[in-house]
Structure 1
Amino acid sequence: MKCPFCGTNNPAGETFCANCGGYLDTPASSTQTVVSQPGASYPTATTTQAAGGGTGGGVHGASSTLTPNAKLQNGRYIVEKVLGQGGMGAAVLARDSRVSNKRVVIKELISDENDPTQRQEDVRNFEREVETLANLDHPLIPTVTDSFQEGSRYYMVQEYAPGENLEDYMERVNKPMPEQEALTYIAQVLDILEYLSEQKPPIVHRDIKPANIIISSRDKRARLVDFGIARADEARNAKRKQTSALGTPGYAPPEQYQGNADARSDLYALAATLHHLVTNRDPRNYPPFNYPPVRTLNKQLSPELERILEKALTLDINKRYQNARQMKQEIEALLQQRFHAAIDTSSYILNTSGPISTPSVASKPAANSAGSAYAGGYSASGAPARSQPGQPANNPYGGGPYGPGPNQGQRPRNRGGYQQQQMGTFAPQQQQKKNDNNYILWSFLLLIVVLIIIGALIFVLPNLGHPVTPPGGGAQPISHTGQTSAKGNQPSADPISVTTIKGESIGLSDGKSIFDTSRKNASYKNQAVQAMAQGNTSQANTFWNDALGQDSSDAEAHIYQENMRILSSGQPYITFVVGTVLTGPNAGIGYDNLQGAYVAQHEWNQQNTLGNVKVRLIIANTGSDSGNAATVAHQIVQAAAKDPTIVGVMGWSLSSHAENASNILTAAHIPMVSATASSDSLTGLSSYFFRVAPSNKSEATVAAAYAKSKLQAQQAAIFLDDGDSYSQSLGNDFKGAFSGQTRIITYHRNDPASIIAGVQQLQTDPGLIYFAGYSNDVATLLGELPKHPALAKTQILGGDALYELAGYPSSVKGELHRMHFTAFAYPDEWDILKQGNKKPAFFKDYSDDYSSSNPSGVYGFRRPSNNVILSYDAMTALLTGSKQALNGGTTLKSTALQQALASVKNLQGVSGQITFGPDGDPINKAIVVLYFDDMGRIHMEENLGTGQFLAQ
């Protein structure tokens, strides 16, 4: 029997197609009410379209009575035009005469079934769609506003979302959609799918495809429409229902043809849609479940996107993304890292302390034309103007396009304004009475708000222009934090504030909130924060002392206490933000960053190096998600606008965070100096970005020479994550610099299975593995190597990110002897280079600051790590530039600091001499090579002579 969907000839008696899984118990000439036919023509206002939103498929023979100027509900609804018509109904654009002729879309059900049982099934299906949509409450799902029955026909009224569906768009432009634009729309749909998965029971759409995604001409957001076959599980054993729940061939996954769809099936269909958008390859015109790698069809696409699609389109449902949040996070990370765009699809769920920027897309808007596409899969002739996605629009919930508003952190509720009782009936009288009561209540609340505002103005206006003076002295103004409430859903307007995003405290703190809560002194720190919030500086100082008595290595407590001294002194000060990561798996880097920054702050304040001007620090945490860097950078810009003492940033150590933050800080003319961010993409990024660490290219060149001369390597297997900017550039740099044979093995950061799979590809000893990545991932590699006897002697070489002491568990200690890595600093470097008599005061000051509660010689108390050293050097560079720009004065502009930083030359740092080049990179900076001995101790290779260590 020939499959009506894909054309495959199947043996007689088969129920499902062996190729596509389609239901075969229907002659090819019959019609399908939901499933689209491969290669079907694209519908217009006069083209017949299936009621489920699919294209083609034919009709049953019944026709709609809805024509222009037709009236429904005793003249309430007046039809303007037919948007689409199919075998089980039509969709029309109409005016609601009771609500100022507001435009709505009306969907009609026509059942021509002679079988009463099947006819009732059609009604139940339509009823279920109404019920599903009426109970959904998401800004990107059109709301049901009414439902009724006239004669034998049923009608559903929805809000009108003017725009163009993606199927029509692709047909109109006939070329791939730009990657950033496509990813932006897909991220918005994933937010919808995440919401659907949270319903009880979870809702599976089952027919995601370009025709069912509308880009609204009102706010340029993607709407998901046509829930006609959503939640069809209860009837999936009925043959006709089994067919109607198949979705659309080309987009539907294989398990859906057996009636086993779940949320992961929608992710597959959405990935198929994304594949179509970025390649202009319509999957309905090809055998099902066949998606070539996207970069073979469009070379401009990123490897990260290809990897995402490969995972999402796998036939094994257990190997796909297991929920919408996972897929959305990877897409947002790709947008942030490659396109420097922050997506705000979740901003109506999560608190934000400042606006989240929306990406701009370089594509030109389409010309405006008549007609629109209904948010329900019915396509109209023509297409309205399409402009860039993500642009702000008026929003009834407040904030941005659907960003934070008066009800921060909550999803908007009851947008339709109706209480549904049963199919075809509503309770307008009860609702009107409820609305009358609500009107009185809201009027009363509005009066109270107005009185409060008037009272506030009476208090505030006489005091405008008078800075707030902290208790205990006449220091310059300080911006007070707006710490979020315990519930986390009322962020302050003050940009110096902290909010919770995905379980992490993200934002800025000047001492009224803490980030490092994992230490044993956390109780004292919390009490200090409470005292500071109450303005009791004396009590706060006592608690900070108690906290440091328990753990003297806690630089966060040191910084806040130092700030209190400055504010109480009455002396002028300048403020720097320390941007870092203090939560998540890389929090250890953040602790090091704060230690280095505090030593520099304490030194310069204690020695009055800036004369009468003191140094104050604000701490910024972006957590584990690099996308938060853009959000926090916006906060810094806003804080600097309020507080002119904020003149620069020391941070971030991770390349992706640094890149995301720098773009925003540059636009506000705020300079930034990074300690360890080394990705090649940062070279020449901005005239306001500087770094004291060399680029990946520089350290990869040193590593390649070391591999040849010291390790005698003739070939190397290079492990890299092509979705991470640091790993990708470092691995490719090594490949370019290494003269022997190389082999690239890709893995995914924080994915042990991908690393283990990479090791299994090595059937013979490659001699050397160059691991372009991070310590926690190379630890997985070290744990896997003993399982492969052929790799017993394989050496491992890597970059500076492997110098993370907390990244190696005791279980791999026996394998550390394989490890070698380049680094930008080492605490014994001065002595090894026989320059011990010239060692800077930093080493003594570091020990004095942190060793009182632990006098041993371990890292973090007496012995600084490389991250501490480089953070100190980055802070010192900022302060050196500040001294030059201040020139004996007491006020400093960020633009003057930028000019001074650009001229920094021959600054002797702890990690070597620092001279900033025109591209922001350090010129000829010293690089060291480190290795582990058999006891797991680190040593430095001598006599390598790489870079200039001592300033001339």
Structure 2
Amino acid sequence: MKCPFCGTNNPADETFCANCGGYLDTSASSQTVGGQPGTNSNQTATPTQAAGSGSSGGTGTTTQGGGHGTSSTLTPNAKLQNSRYIVEKVLGQGGMGAAVLAKDSRVSNKHVVIKELISDENDPKQRQEDVRNFEREVDTLASLDHPLIPTVTDSFQEGSRYYMVQEYAPGENLEDYMERVNKPMPEQEALTYIAQVLDILAYLGEQKPPIVHRDIKPANIIISSRDKRARLVDFGIARADEAKHAQRKQTSALGTPGYAPPEQYQGNADVRSDIYALAATLHHLVTNRDPRNYPPFNYPAARTLNKQVSPELERILEKALTLDINRRYQNALQMKQDIDRLLQQRFHAAGDTSSYLLNTSGPIPTPSVAAKPAANSAGSAYAGGYSGSNPPVHSQAGQYPANQAGYPYRANQAQRPQNRRANQQQQMGVFPPAQPQKRNDNSYILWSFLLLIVVLIIIGALIFILPNMGHPIPPGGGAQPINHTGQTSAKGDQTTADPISVTNIKGEYIGLSDGKSVFDTGRKNADYKKQAVQAMIQGNTSQANTFWNDALGQDSSDAETHIYQENMRILSSGKPYITFVVGTVLTGPNAGIGYDNLQGAYVAQHEWNQQNTLGNVKVRLIIANTGSDSGNAATVANQIVKAAAKDPTIVGVMGWSLSSHAENASNILTAAHIPMVSATASSDSLTGLSSYFFRVAPSNQTEATVGATYAKNKLQAQKAVIFLDDGDSYSQSLGNDFKSAFEAPAIGGKVIQMITYHKDDQASVIAGLQQLQSDPGLIYFAGYSNDMATLLGELPKHPALAKTQILGGDALYELAGYPESVKGELHRLHFTAFAYPDEWDILKQTSKKPAFFKDYTDDYSSSNPTGVYGFRRPANNVILSYDAMTALLSSAKQALHGGTALKSTDLQQALTGVKNLQGVSGQITFGQNGDPVDKAVVVLYFDELGRIHMENDLGTGKFLAQ
């Protein structure tokens, strides 16, 4: 029998071509396909179309083998499930049913997609197989949880027909797009979408067993009009990889010729088959050559069809499209890594992140200790961070996606705060109470007796627990105290307990750690970190070092681990050292700030120790966590004072980034003559607060003035509404500063309303937005990114605000705070900031860039070399924390005068003399009030694709030191 695909003559009894693997069933070749976009209307039906996966790329009716071609009864205004679902229009029609757009009348007329199966087979076995295939698709999709795979919300049967309901992602599939534009897609745009689909395939490959889609093609990739990201649809023939071992022909899973690889026609598809099909799709996108119109398994070199294709992409395609399955990429992560590297090197753009992988080449790390390790050592996690957005095109203004500033764990935390807290509590040994068992009430006397016993137990427990509340937690959890042998005096205070310890305060682990406690336990390397802690407590430094190394092998961006390991090296060297405390927030909704602070602090510590900048003196860091409650800052500051009294090497503090925390801590540290340098705390109340307090970031008054000028000149705003939390030092002062600057004669604007909300309170943000009945032109949001995410998520519900622009301060540059669901609204957002990683390039100072950028990459990129924030690209808080640490270290060098001992009062004196110190964020000069003098401020904004740009000029300040 002659193969209809490659022309090879095969024996008459063969089912598959011996040369190309093509399906030789002649019954399929007599079928015709009508009206499919991008396909000749007389085209011979493919094996897949003959079998019928239940969908087609176009809207025409397809006559398919195995059935009678019965048309769907789903028409506009048709009703299903007792009128719950009302059909609006038919999206696609196939021989096995239809896909329609419908409204769910029970959920605010929310749009959904309903997929129908018509099984009118005369053969009962075939009808049963049709139903089984459909139920498999429902089961497959229902078991998946990836932001780029439409979620199944319902399934039901009416008569002989079966229905599946999915979320609706409005957009255009890539097949229709290519038909419409009829030209090659720009390479970067194509790579963007393919990287996102690879993220999905990596997720599918992580399932147990792995899931193979089997029909990847442009028609099954939809670019959402909401967030411009690729969704993978139509899992009608997807199967768990174990199915390939079944002793049967997979005639229902042959894919689409032109896109499907040869082994798929032989029933041997695995995850590498999807890689081939996706590469065929990519080849189609960048060459505008539809492979269905040519013999299968034949792809000319892409550059012969489109000279604009890069040599690197041509090599990627060649590898992914090889017929030998063992010579292809062996998993999606490998191909994604090459594409991300190409995006970075050729387009200076970071690879895409999503809520599943977040460009980590591995799954979201679950906080649970029992979490599975990543399948690939190349990675270390919804959005978004839920997490991400389309990879950007790098231009002079510098563009990077919104949700890439965070590390994998940050985005996951931003999007799933409740799950994160529950998982953290479990990991640290805090578990929800067991559900009570049913009791037997047959005997009233017995029940009364049992009740009495329970009451006595509770009283006894209270007698034991109450005196011990607030004491350090026992060892064995994720956060552990260094010393759990402290004695309790008659007054109830711990008289001999080590102040470097961790205490559970309202579910958060607050206190100080030098390596015998860990705070950052939301990563997938948490198990190794906890084992390192146990070894540290037992005094087994060699074993601890092994576990720290293992932790970094899984996630090189984990600065907490870097710091503890560096401390071990210092202590084992026997050399003199000075100690700084890094005060930050590592638990609660703003934990991402803490991850940044630690990264910046460690780069400075590592640089100065490696280069022996302080001579024979080394730099040791202690980590202090105050959690979500600013009141904890006073508690921790008191611990620092007690620790410094015991350990004279503790001479200063780098922290805190949040103004309210910094203010509470500074008062206590000042009384003990311990200097503090904050990276980003900018509240006006901190100006002149103490001669022992300094900050790298300018005051709110400065950035509010920059914002007001930008609102007038760039946004053309004449009126504004201000959101502020009058109970938060940062928010209150920034909001009032903007009002004063915006209404000043030089600007001439008008603030028409001041709306009060409460930090970390979604209901108050929503209530504030509901007060706006008309477009004010501009909302100035004096607050934090997680609250801004709430506002952005609510905006679509207010049509009157469809054109409203949003402006805010530096706290909005915490990118992990923006989940995937708000990406469609990010283009409205503008904000002032004190640093930006591309600032040196944009200001045309590339040749003068400091070593920090290379050192940052060297320290953090080994487990993820693709260039996202947190691995190769530093976030603004990282830069500012590095600068704050550098100010402390430079002052320490001056105060040491070549000696080995340093007093905190001498360090404070040296800090008052800091002048024209070149920081990564600009020049640093401390004024008499502790504020930086003439510090650089930039303005950033998002574009339609969720990418960040920096305005080409500084908003104010001096960047280069004289």
Q: TM-score if structure 1 supplies the norm length? A: 0.49
Greater relative contact order (CA < 8 Å, ≥ 6 in sequence): 2
Q: TM-score if structure 2 supplies the norm length? A: 0.49
